[in-house]
Amino acid sequence: MHNKEEISSEKLNLHPRNKHRGRYDFEALIKSCPELAPFVRLNEYQNESIDFANAGAVLMLNKALLKHFYDIDQWKIPPGYLCPPIPGRVDYLHHVADLLGSCRGDLIPTGKHIRCLDVGVGANAIYPILGSVTYGWSFVGTDIDAIALASAAEIMNNNMGLKENVELRLQPHARDIFSGIMYRDEHFDVTICNPPFHASAKEAQKGTQRKWKNLKDEPGVDPVLNFGGQNQELCCDGGEEGFVLRMITESKHISSLCLWFTTLISKQAHLKSLYSALKKAGVYEIITIPMGQGNKISRIVAWTFLNREAQRDWIKSRWEQVVRD
């Protein structure tokens, strides 16, 4: 087993291909989404911004970003569901694209023959949206929440090109990750996941209160935070660590059906137990990719059971052959 920790000298910065590296151009965003205008005001530094403690403002900013940069005309989520930070979410996908590209001379694969499994697609369906538009990949999005899936389906149906690239599946068992949603002998090039962070609803509430307090105390900071969120989006048995440990265990059972398994890990303290579990599962390689924006630091942990020869065979049969056909 190889264990490679990738350290970037600019780990607090966004990926070089990220369209959101600079300041928000609110004039351009308002032209794309006029509904954003009432939420824009000068902050204490006399720069145009929004009140990031206002969930409605954050939601409208997301709508404007999706319209302006990704041509998504219709995007809404039910009240109380997670409103994801677009820059951070697309950053994950850019790093995943690099990871897949590393398997064939850093040539990033594009097109719908690249199949991604989004574990916990949510009501916002943000990863399938961004991945489909940016790289043309196809997605299977899973969730345990039927309301969330209905919201995601509405987004797909209301935006040209998404419905053809995205399939949604209900996970019938809350503690299962891959079991129950993958078809027999179905293959994926990569799995992605933003796991529930907290171990209980009480812990999640405390975390939310702390974030809101930080927002009030630092009005000049544009934080990378999720607002709202149902219990199943924010917490699960064992929290982030327990969820990913279950994911690792299940990944072993489908080791030949996926090229790379990946997940976000918010808390560095969880890495030790996860690395131990991966080693025990017999993975061939682990890659840890640092991510960050502002003062928030996280990382992607990726693993594969396929050795170099198996990876080359995967690419030849599942990428190159499909493109030729």
Question: 132-164, pLDDT tens digit by residue?
Answer: 999 999 999 999 999 999 999 999 999 988 999
In this prediction, residue 219 carries a pLDDT of: 47
In percent, how much of the chain has pLDDT > 70?
A: 81
Whole-angstrom distance, CA of residue 137 vs CA of residue 134: 8
Residue 55, domain member (yes or no): no
- pLDDT computed for residue 296 by the predictor: 73
What is the C-alpha to C-alpha distance for residues 46 and 49, in angstroms, rounded to an integer?
9
> Does a structural domain hold residue 60?
no
Establish if 142 belongs to a structural domain: yes
Note the pLDDT of residue 120. 96
- Domain membership of residue 118 (yes or no) is yes
Q: List the domain range (segments joined by +) for residue 236.
A: 2-17+85-324
Q: What is the pLDDT of residue 209?
A: 46
- In this structure, is residue 37 part of a structural domain? no
232: exposed, middle or buried (Cβ count in 10 Å: 0-12, 13-18, 19+): middle
- Long-range CB pairs of 171-177 (<8 Å, 24+ gap) are 171/142, 171/143, 171/144, 172/144, 173/144, 174/144, 174/232, 174/236, 175/237, 175/246, 176/246, 176/250, 177/119, 177/243, 177/246, 177/247, 177/250, 177/251
**95 vs 225: CA distance, rounded Å:** 20
pLDDT of residue 19: 94
Residue 245 buriedness (CB in 10 A; 0-12 / 13-18 / 19+): middle
Amino acid 236: pLDDT: 57
The tally of domains found in the chain comes to: 1
30 in a domain, yes or no?
A: no
pLDDT beneath 50, residues of the chain: 4-12, 198, 200-201, 203-204, 206-227, 229-231, 233, 325
AA identity, residue 93: L
Which pLDDT does position 73 carry in this prediction? 95
Residue 241 lies in a domain: yes
CATH at 238 = 3.40.50.150
Backbone angles phi, psi at 186, to 5 degrees: -80, 140
Q: In this predicted structure, what is the pLDDT of residue 44?
A: 85
Is 11 domain-assigned? yes
pLDDT at 172: 94
